[in-house]
Amino acid sequence: MLSTGTAPPSQVLRRGAVPFAVAAVAAAGAAVLVVRSPYTPLSYGLCPSVLLLGVSCPGCGGLRATHDLLTGDLAGAWLANPLWTLTAPLLVAVWGVWTARRLRGGPPLTTPSWVPWTVLVVVVAFTVLRNVPALVPYLGPAPLP
């Protein structure tokens, strides 16, 4: 189903270089996360935003959520960072579409204009809401065991 148009193999390889480099970096990061669990205290250092500012940034719990997604613990991932649990699979899907288009040699992938603004609003709202004391149990990063 994945067609590469009428380009010669060398050109397809060149087109695929960037997407597969991105995938390789992501896979390497995923491997590190699975092997070295972020649930071990101080395995990845300290959280700067909590330490310096006292608030949870939108990425807090992201390492834990990714580790849980990779090891199949969806509930744990949701408790660690709900936004990232929803976004990570979407990003994988977007990578797939991008790579397919790029290998086929078609026009570059563009997003409608409302997408970036929606991303901004959602992330800022998530950051604010997850620091509201009443919502911390639902949106904030789960406390370390």
Partner 1 sequence: MSQPHDRRPAPVYGQEGAYATYPAPADQQPAEQPPAAQPAAGHDQPTGPSSTAGPSPAAGPSPTAAPYPIAAAYPTAGPYPPGVGPYPPVGAPYRPRNDLAVWSLVLGLLGVLGCVFFTGVPAVVIGGRARRAAAAGEADNDGLAIAGIVLGWVATGLGVVVVALMFLIVLLPVVAVGLTVPFLDVAP
Work out how close the CB of 72 gets to partner 1 at its nearest, in angstroms, rounded to a whole number.
26
Interface with partner 1 in residues 78-107 (CB under 8 A): 107
Binding of partner 1 by 57 (CB under 8 A): yes
Shortest Cβ 49–partner 1 spacing (Å) = 6
Q: What is the 3-state secondary structure (H, E, C) of the chain?
A: CCCCCCCCHHHHHHHHHHHHHHHHHHHHHHHHHHHCCCCCCCCCCCCHHHHHHCCCCCCCCHHHHHHHHHHCCHHHHHHHCHHHHHHHHHHHHHHHHHHHHHHHCCCCCCCCCHHHHHHHHHHHHHHHHCCCHHHHHHHCCCCCC
Judged by CB under 8 A, how many residues of this single chain contact partner 1? 23
Does residue number 142 form part of the binding site for partner 1 (CB under 8 A)? no
Site residues (vs partner 1, CB under 8 A): 45-46, 48-49, 51-52, 57-59, 107-108, 110-113, 115-117, 119-120, 123-124, 127
